[in-house]
Each structure stands twice: as structure tokens, then as C-alpha cells.
Structure 1
Amino acid sequence: MPLTRLDIPPALKRLLPTTLFGRSLLIIILPVAIMQIAVTWAFFDAHWQSVTSKLSEGLAGDIAWAVQSYEDDPSPAAVEKLAERAEGALSLSIAFQKGRKLPTSHRPSLFAALDRSLDKALEDRLDNPFWFDTTRYRAYIDIRVQVDGGVLQIYALRDRAYATQGHIFILWMVVATLLLTAVAILFIRNQVRAIERLAEAADAFGRGEDPEFKPHGAREVRQAALAFIAMKLRIQRHIEQRTALLASVSHDLRTPLTRLKLEMAMAEPCERMEAMKGDLAEMEHMIDEYLAFARGEGGEAIQVVDLSDLVESVVADAERGGAAIETEITQGLETRLRPLTFRRALANLIDNGVAHADRVRVTVSPRQTGGVDVAVDDDGPGIPEDKYEEAFKPFSRLDESRNQNEKGVGLGLAIARDMARGLGGDLVLSRSALGGLRALIRLPG
């Protein structure tokens, strides 16, 4: 029989905790709480209420006897004798208040169910009007019965009407619940912490760091951690092999290129020679871009840098190459990044803007939610919105796009996005206020 999923109402989902720690705690605490409530309810209903009812009935019987004895002989001597007998045998304090009436006000008790039990027992045993108060005195109950000529006031010990040990039971239940909850929190926190360490290590590795991590926690969590470590080693080995391959290819290609450049420098200058030198320069630039893309973030550590100064330095380098760049840079912004990788990525974005637009503006500003935005705007032709994602693909050269230039091989945006995502941020494209393209690097705080 196929299993069906139990759908939780959306309103209830919003009330449920979202963390693993909260949900695990709920799984343990909720059944314990329900069990404790059920046991407490059963105790009150089946035991405490029953015992209290019997005690109240016994007290009501004694009071009915006292009222009947008074009505049989209301003389002062009989009342005095009745009080002595009630005090010695029944622990009741009886006094006759001549000409008095029953009070009209009644103060409610915290345990209304117990008052109802005593009220029912007195109503069943007495024909006379009565009134009682369980709140005025801590150890006694004040009971008054209307009789001929006044009120018979009776003080009875509280434990003669109520099972007074109920609060001790409740206290033990509360202590047991708190103890079980504390133990559950300690064990769950220990297990969840192992998962949190695994998530932190995975996040750090995703940013290009090499975290020190040892498997902890339950067997399943350790298995996941060991699988992560094995995956990390495979990825690192793959990156190292790719970088070594590209470095080797780059080295092998640079040797004949250097010889060709030397031979051209020694040859007679002519128009064809200048074209060949341009082709060689383009080939050398392509090799540099291939190697930069293959190298990625390898080898460079993350540092806390003054982003404002770094961006101004990149802009100054571009201006020395003949570009005119507007800047809006908020000073004193610090963030964690790989300086050389960031410099290369920002330079690529600026070069793309300069190659396709008349105006280029670089903006650095903090985000209200934390982090820093570095935007490169221009007034060029831009890229259609449906081609934004395609522009990030390595070696992509869009027709009439920003990736198509004389020297580029379609790696500039890919390198810049890899840099941003490696830091936990992102690179997004949008329409610029200048009319062209906006490339926005979103860096974490």
C-alpha cells in the first residue's frame, strides 16, 4: 500500500519551528508535555477530586450534626457543651453569633473546583442557608449557617475538606518535566551542533577556504561528514589537476610565442608584420584568460581589506590605460575577499564597459541589510534581459553583446561571478540608469 504524505495546514506550519534543534526539541517535549498533562488530569479527576469529595462530605456531615444539635437545644449551656464536644472530637471551632445574618459577598477561590465540591456536600446535608469562605485564612475554612436567632459560625481545618497534598504532586510533575526537558536539550544540542559544524565547514569550503573539520555526532552525521571530506578532497584534486594542466599548456605555448615575437622583432617592419604582431598579442591575452579562469581562487587567502582603496586602485589602473571613469565610492568600507582575484574581476567588468560605452561609472556603497555593493554602469548597448544568464557561461560570445570584443574569449563575466560566489556573494546583471548595462557585485558583510 503506497504511503501518503500527511499535509500540515499552512497556518500550523507557520507556528512550527524552522530549525532542526527546535523541531527535535518539539518531537521530544511535546509528547512528554501531553503525557504529563494527561497524568495530572487523571490524578485530579480520578484521585484528588474523589478524595476531596469524600472529605467534604465528611465535614458536611459533622456540620449538619452540629446544626441539628443546636436546633435540638439552642440554650447557651447546650451551645457551650456542643462547642466543647466539637472541639475535642471533631476539631471544629463553633460559636453562636446572635442576631447576625449571612454575608452577601463571596470571594472566589483559586481552585474553584474544590469550592464546588464543598458547596455540593453542604447543600446535600443542610436544609439551612449557609455561606463559607476558603480564602481568608490559610489553614482554616470559615463556614456559617443561618439558624433561628442568628448565625452558627464554624471554623474547620482546611485538610478536613481538601486533599492538601495535591500541590506536592503538581510540583513533582513540574520538576520532572523540567528535568526531562533539560536532559533533552543537552542531548539534542550536542547532535545539532555536529550538523552545524558540518554546514559551517561546507560553507567555508564553498568560499574557497580549507577548514579544519573532524566528524562528530551520531553515526549518520559522521557518515555525512566523512562523505563531505571525501568530496572536498576529490574537488581539490580536480582543481589542482586542472590548474596544473592549464599551467603546463600555457608554459608550452608561451615558448613558441616568445620565439615568434623575437623573430618578428628582428624582421623588417611591414604592414603584414604589424598584423601578425596583433595576432600574437591576442593569442597571449587568450592564454592569460584561460589560465586565470582555470586557476580561479586557488592559492589566494581571504583577507580583510579596505574595499574603497582597492576599487580606487583598479580604477586608477584603468585610467592610466586611457579610460575615463566616473566614481561614487563610499570611503572606509572594509570586507573580506581575495584582493588579486577581486582586482582581476573588477578590471574585466570595467574593460567591458570601456570597450562598449562612452560613459562608465563605478559605484561602491554599503547595503542596509549588511554587506557591500560594487556596481559598474555604462551607457552602451547592453545585453537583452533574456541573455543575462547566457552571458555568464564560460566562452560565451553573444552576438551584439558585451562579451564580444577583439581580445576577449568570453570569460570575463564567468571569472567575476566565480569570484563573487566564492566569497558568499553574487554578480547580477540589470539595466543601468545610464541606459546600458549594470554589473553589480554583491559582497557579504
Structure 2
Amino acid sequence: MRSVRARTALGATVVVAVALIGAGLAVLLVLRANLTDQAGLQAEVAAREVAGQLALDVPVHQLDLPDAEEHPVQVTDEDGRLVAVSEDLVAITGTGTDRVEPQASAVPTSTGTGTDDDGGGDRHGGEDRGDDDANVSIPARGEVSADDPDFTNGTATVDGDTADYRFASVSATTGAGVTLTVHAGAPLATEQKAVGSVRRAMLIGLPVMLLIVAAVTWLMTRRALRPVEGIRAEMSAITASEDLSRRVPEPGSRDEIARLARTTNETLTALEASVDRQRRFVADASHELRSPIASLRTQLEVGAAHPELLDVPGAVTDTVRLQALAADLLLLARLDAGERPGSTRLDMGALVHEEVSQRTGDRIPVTASVPPSEPLEVTGSRSQLARILGNLLDNAERHAESSVAVSVRTERGSVVVAVSDDGPGVPEPERERIFERFVRLDDARSRDEGGAGLGLAIARDVARRHQGTLTVTRSPEGGARFELRLPARPDPGR
């Protein structure tokens, strides 16, 4: 199942199905428990009514028992013998005994002092009570157990009809001290009918609800993913046409899909800019390489035809320029590929002294100012940081009139290397543009002075790779002041 809509609809349906089945089972269990408890309460009431008669010493054969179909009743003695049973009760299960015929039992039928068999006197043996209350015998009274009854489930057959019942067992003690147990039942037909109705409704309604959930989820997912399909189709068209100026449609909502569309367009914009940069880079590199190669070829052809006219110094100069340009292009390619700088511990003061000491043939001597005892350590690639410093000094030498100065200092957790000159400086609107590749200002376009417009671009790229910055301002002498800021290496001794 490869469709997101199908997987979403199926997942939502399964979740809803599990939730509905769980809720339905819980409802059925609670309903059944409540109705069963209600039936048990009815059975307990019927059992206590019969037990109350026994406590009042009503003879077992004179008990007023409820209708067997509504409340089947059994009365058993302490030995488990059946002493009374509801009329028309044919069979019973789930009580103390399954008998339906009373058995002989030594259960007193009265607790009085005597009975008048002919009915001519009162039941206590005297026709004339007399005036002495001490001669009157008060019959003893029994009691009904106050304990919670025992509940069981069983069946009862009345007039040939068998049904399920909830039975309650209540104990009663007669006035003679005989304990009898009353088993009374209440029908579970209401509980079974209600539970069956709810079960049938759930079995019918559950598939219908699941179909509705699946259909609604499918339609909603389809509607929600419609912008994604538009994005996919547009991206496919962009890939096929290779036209990076096109953009995917952005929905008006502010949800995740709208953010995805915006991010995709931002990615396309960055990709378009990167491709344009690459194309310009290739075109500019080809143009810059064409000039020294053409000059070198011309000189070699002239030298081959007329050896006396061969300009060896010029050929060497063009070869050096070609070699430097190739090295710059290779470094830029490595930087664009994401090459990480090294993690060597470097002293920028020592590096500045080393670079300045090697520039013996410069047109203008370089003045270096390095604090003797201040910690100036950074972490990075020695060759790449030396390349930054060399490019900045070369740029200052080309534009300075009489002085070039380099200084190193620490400032708020950074090591700052500043290269200043007294040349014409950089106009403020052009201070960011000079860091673009193959960009040279109008007064610096002479190729004879060297430089293809890559030195400052390489310097800034390398600075960024070292988590630093490279900026240009106006120097106190009126020329340009380039400042390289690098994170200072923490001093472990502090």
C-alpha cells in the first residue's frame, strides 16, 4: 500500500475500530453488570420477604410465596433439605438444591405454649385470660440475617418454560431457633434483552461508522495532500525542463504544507543562485584563463618562428599568472565542496612575522605591529590562514601609495588581524561587492598588475570556514583597512 491516502484512511479506520470495540465492550459489561445487580436486588427483596415470614413463625406450609415465574423460591433447612418451594416450579439450578418437592423436616410450625385444636379458645391455651398478666405466655420472635446475601446465577423451569434467573440466598432464624435459608430468584430476561439489543445495534452500526470514517479520512487526506501533489508535479516539471526560475505553488494556508512549499521555493532560489554563480564562475574562469594562455601561445609561436624575438620574461610571467590562477580556482573548488579547515593550534603573531619576513621584493615595505606578550592563538589551517594574509598584503601592495601596515590584537574573545594602506580606498557602496568572485573595480582592472578578482573572495571564504569574518573599512591613512576576526583559542591555564 504505497498511497499515503490509503495508509492514512486505513490507520484512522483501525484506530477508530479499536476505540469503538473497546468502548462497546465496556458499555456492554457495565450494562450487564447494572442489570444483573438490579435483578439481584429484586431477588434479595423477594428472599427477605419470605425470610421475614419465617422470622414471624409462619409455618413453612403456610408461607405466602411469590409467583414462581416472577420469583421462584426454595426454602431449605440446616441439613439442606427442601422444606418449601414455589408452586408450579418444575426444575431449578444454581441454588442450594435442585429438588422441587418438599421433604420431611423437623421444623416447628409454632413457638407458642400451646394450640387449641378445636379453635374454641385462643392459641395460647386459655379461654379466659384473667387479671394476672404473669399467666400470659409471649411467643418468641425470630430474626432475618442482616448479612449480605449470596448471589448465584441459574435457571428455573416453570410450566415448561425455562429461563435464566439471578438467585439471592437469605438466612432466617425462627422463634424456635431453627435456621432456614430462602433462595429467591429474579428473571434475567430484561438484562439479556437489553444486552442483546445493544449488541445487535453495535454489530450493525460499527461497520457503517467505520465505512464513514474511512470515506471521510480518504476525502480529507486527498484534499490535504492536493497541494503536495501540485508541488510534486511542479518539481517534476522543473527537473524535466531544468528551468530553475520556476517556483512551486504556495497554498494560502499556514500549515506544514505551506511551509514546505515556501522552503522548497527558498531551496530553488538558493539552487538557482548557486547554478548562476557556477555558470558565471566557469565563464569568468574561462575568460581569465584564455588571456594568459593566448599570450603564452603567441609568445611561443613567435619564438618558434623567430627565436631572436622570444620574450622569455613575458612567457614566464604569463606562466606564473596561469599557475596562480589555477591554484586559486582549485582552492575555490575545494571550499565550495565543503572542505573543512584543520584544527592546528596557531600563533597569529608568529604567522604575521613569518609572512612579512618573506616579502622582501615588495614595492612598498610592510610594517608589522605584534604585541610581544599577548596570547594570539587560534585554531585552523596554517596554509589557508597564510593564504588570507598573503592575499590581503598583495591587495594592499597593488593599491598603496607609500605605506602598508599589518597589526595583530585581541578584542572580546577574538584575534583581529588588520591590514591597512594609504591608497585610494574602497567606496562604501562597493565594500561588499569586492568580495565577489572575479570582481575588480574600475581602477583595478589592469591585468598587468596581477589579480583576477579572486584573492578577496578566497580570503572571505576561508575566514568563514574558520568561523571568522573579513570586512573592509577606511583606514586612518585614507586607504582601505581590512580586518580579519577569528575566534581566539581558549587559554587552558586561565
Please classify the TM superposition score into its range, dividing by the shorter chain length: 0.3 to 0.5
TM-score, with normalisation over the residues of structure 1?
A: 0.39
Q: Could you state the TM-score of these two structures normalised by the residue count of structure 2? A: 0.36
Larger radius of gyration: 2
Question: In proportion to residue count, which structure has more helix?
Answer: 1
